[in-house]
Amino acid sequence: MDFSNKIVVLTGGSQGIGKEIALAYGRANGTVIIFDISIEEAEKVSNEIIKNGSTSKSYLVDVTNRESVSKAIKEVIDTFGRIDVLVNSAGVVNTKPFVDVTDKDWDLVMNVNFRGVFYTCHEIFPFMIGAKYGKIVNIASIAGKKGGGFFGNSLYGASKAGVIGLTKGLAREGGPHGINVNAVCPGPTDTKMLEGLQDDVRKSLINNIPLRKFATPKDIANVVLFLSSDLAGHVSGEITDVDGGVMLD
Ligand SMILES: NC(=O)c1ccc[n+]([C@@H]2O[C@H](COP(=O)([O-])OP(=O)(O)OC[C@H]3O[C@@H](n4cnc5c(N)ncnc54)[C@H](O)[C@@H]3O)[C@@H](O)[C@H]2O)c1
């Protein structure tokens, strides 16, 4: 896949799945713009992309803050002229039982996972409509289909179900303007998000995955790049599981 001359904005690119997606766009010659609250880590990823011969820039962006998102998008448009691809990977997880969840937990999970996707899409959509071209890929989760359950609680599942609904709605509205909007639902994926899992919990999760392994961030990145490429030109509103077969049951 070749993303030469494509301007890619990616949230949550400083580590984990987002980092791997950023590096993959870099390898595919894309211009990679990272929005993250961990700016130092994000800049390290940008430097790695630049070292390998592509263009990259990181911005300190808190996706829960409209001003922060809007200011960075304006700067990207002023500097690079347009945004061809948006990938929303920033996210946080919560695993508490429902009765222990606080308003603070709700606000954090909903604001990062759901409101953040609303803000980036809302700010970028007008530019994509103007260009009559755009590719958006939102990282949801199988928890959004199962109501948590596998990893992440009901709160996390609800935030990701919101992302799935928004993805479908935006695919409907964006289609007539040449904008494809899709989501990827990873199953358990080896990143810091799953650090600290007890060995027995890890084993039991793996035993419930038909392919008997966690995804790697690269497994997720491969599908994200495909969905945002012109190879997937006729795919929109698709909610794609990358889960080793978990959703079979
Ligand atoms: N790891 C998994 O098993 C798994 C499974 C399903 C879905 N997901 C989803 O994939 C995405 C990436 O997960 P990951 O495992 O790489 O997580 P991670 O914790 O390794 O990375 C999350 C990234 O989001 C950034 N971030 C958090 N809050 C932010 C904010 N307010 N503004 C901007 N950036 C912010 C972090 O700095 C970090 O770079 C998330 O949306 C997550 O819900 C992960």
Q: Alpha-carbon distance 121 to 87, whole Å?
A: 9
Q: State yes or no: pLDDT of 30 exceeds 90.
A: yes
The CB of 240 under 6 Å from ligand 1? The reply is no
- Residue 246 burial (CB count, 10 A): 24
Distance, in Å, from the CA atom of 4 to the CA atom of 230, rounded to the nearest integer, reads: 12
Nearest to 43 by CA among 69, 68, 15, 64: 15
Residue 223 is inside which H or E element, if any? helix 217-227
| Region for 58 from its dihedrals, namely left if φ exceeds 0, alpha if ψ lies in -120 to 50, beta otherwise | beta
Residue 179 predicted with pLDDT over 90:
yes
The answer, yes or no, to whether any atom of ligand 1 lies below 6 A from the CB of 241, is no
Tens-place pLDDT, residues 93-122: 999 999 999 999 999 999 999 999 999 999
Rounded distance between C-alpha atoms, residue 37 and residue 60, angstroms: 5
> What is the predicted pLDDT for the residue at 149?
81
Kindly state the percentage of the chain with pLDDT values over 90. 93
What's the pTM value of the predicted model, to 2 decimals?
0.98
Question: What's the gap in Å between 215 CA and the centre of ligand 1?
Answer: 15
Q: Which class is domain 7-241? A: alpha beta
Residue 76 and residue 9 in contact, taking contact as beta carbons nearer than 8 Å: yes
The answer, yes or no, to whether any atom of ligand 1 lies below 6 A from the CB of 138, is: no
Is ligand 1 within 6 A of the CB of residue 162?
no
Q: Ligand 1: which of 88, 191, 214 to mutate, judged by most atoms within 8 Å of the beta carbon?
A: 191
pLDDT at 197 over 90: no
Centroid of ligand 1 to alpha carbon of 111 (angstroms): 13
Residue with tokens 């709605």: 169
The pLDDT tens digits for 229-247 are 999 999 999 999 999 999 9
In this structure, the residue with its CA closest to atom 2 of ligand 1 is 189
- Residues noted as catalytic: 156
Query: Which token pair is 114?
Result: 């759901």
Q: Does residue 151 carry a pLDDT above 90?
A: no
